[in-house]
Amino acid sequence: MPFVKPGTLKAVASRPGRRTTIRELAEYTGLSPAAVSYALRGMQVSAETERRVREAAEELGYEADPIARALAGGATAVVGLLVGSLADFWNQELVRAVQRELYGAARSTLVADADGEPARELELARGLLDHRVDGLVVVPIGPASGDWQSIAREVATVTIGDALPGVSAAGEVVFDHESGVRASLEHLSALGHRRITVLSWAVETSPDREAERAVGASAAALGVDIDLVACAYSLNGSRPLALELLRSDERPTAVLCLSDSIAYGVYAACAELGLSIPGDVSVAGFGDHPISRLLAPPLTSTVWDIDRTAEVATSFLLQAIEADGPQATLRDVVEPVLVTRASTAPRPA
């Protein structure tokens, strides 16, 4: 609480050396520390006592120490946020949005960044647990595993984007990747593109992901040729790859990037090579970061509503934390909306 709620400041600032402890509060109210502890959490005590304790807490500016509370097994009001890559702009926005929601719920955020390496995910998650986070929000990039299951059993866990199959998380906000991919490929196909390169960060890390499977399925249905290529998750990561790709003899006429950040790298590469978008190559993104519409040219992309995603995920998490026991998995599917802008155009003759 103190981390985010008003009122703290004055109190803490006015302490001479150290903060008020529960024992002092107990002494002040003439109760035992145990009673105070219960009262503050609204358990076991009479209404009258609770009122008295709260009043005293107010007067003395008492705020429970999150660290002590954590050690004793209580809640910390800290939530862990584990993202696959902070270099990805969509994820950056997500962090902001989740942070904001959690601030509203009087909780702070321990952020961990797997930096594109799936192998780090579990390690980071464990680290978050070591810090006694009350809950975990994960944007997974790696495969599910038994370790995840055991983590999900230990702490309320909500996934965003892809679910962790076989893991009974407290909540899942999943993207309907399949329909997003299909819509994008249909769009490009309708523009006459027959050879499309799909750049995905997940090709190697979780190749059986829905999105990648959808690529194959849609391609078959549409009769287009697809090159599915693994690509780092960021502007700087995708630029070199895009350069190589666009320099090759068999340059595709269209590139679908499974993240806007990747598309930005393609833009940078095109600029370097003097290629025109969409004159020489059409580019589509995924996620629709707020900046994408401002690019030259504005990027065709698929909207995954960041604020709503964060809001739903947070609400799932808070519900799970309150419930404090295994519940049925809360689930929400985010439907994509394809926004066509000037970065995609009919295939050049």
Partner DNA sequence: GCGGTTCAGTGAACCGCTTCACTCACTATC
Partner DNA sequence: GATAGTGAGTGAAGCGGTTCACTGAACCGC
Identify residues 39-98 at the interface with a second copy (CB under 8 A).
Answer: 63, 65-68, 70-71, 78, 86-87, 89, 92-93, 95-96
Q: Tell me which amino acid residue 255 is.
A: V
Nearest to 238 by CA among 220, 263, 216: 263
- Sequence-ordered alpha helix ranges (H) in 61-88: 66-71
Separation of alpha carbons 26 and 181, rounded Å: 60
Q: Does 264 bind a second copy (CB under 8 A)?
A: yes
In the complex with DNA, the residue whose CB is nearer, 9 or 291, is: 9
195's CB contacts (< 8 A; 6+ apart) are: 224, 225, 227, 250, 252, 253, 254
CB of 64 to DNA, least distance (A): 4
Binding mask of the shown chain, residues 20 to 59, with x at each position contacting DNA by CB under 7 A: xxxx------xxxxxx-xxxxx--xxx-xx----------
Q: Which stretch binds a second copy (CB under 8 A): 47-55, 105-113, 159-167, 198-206?
A: 105-113
DSSP-derived 3-state class of residue 206: coil
Q: Give the start-end residues of each E strand in 140-253.
A: 156-161, 171-175, 195-200, 225-230
3's CB contacts (< 8 A; 6+ apart) are: 66, 77, 78, 106, 107, 108
Among a second copy, DNA, none, the one that 143 touches (CB under a kind-dependent 5 to 8 A) is: none
- The half-sphere exposure of 2 on its side-chain side, counting CA atoms within 13 A, is 19
In the complex with DNA, the residue whose CB is nearer, 71 or 296, is: 71
List residues binding DNA (CB under 7 A). 18-23, 30-35, 37-41, 44-46, 48-49, 62, 64-65, 68-69, 71-74
User: Which residues of the shown chain bind a second copy in the complex (CB under 8 A)?
Assistant: 2-4, 6, 8-9, 12-13, 63, 65-68, 70-71, 78, 86-87, 89, 92-93, 95-96, 99-100, 103, 108-113, 115, 122-124, 126-128, 130-132, 147, 150, 235-236, 264, 267-268, 271, 290-291, 293-298
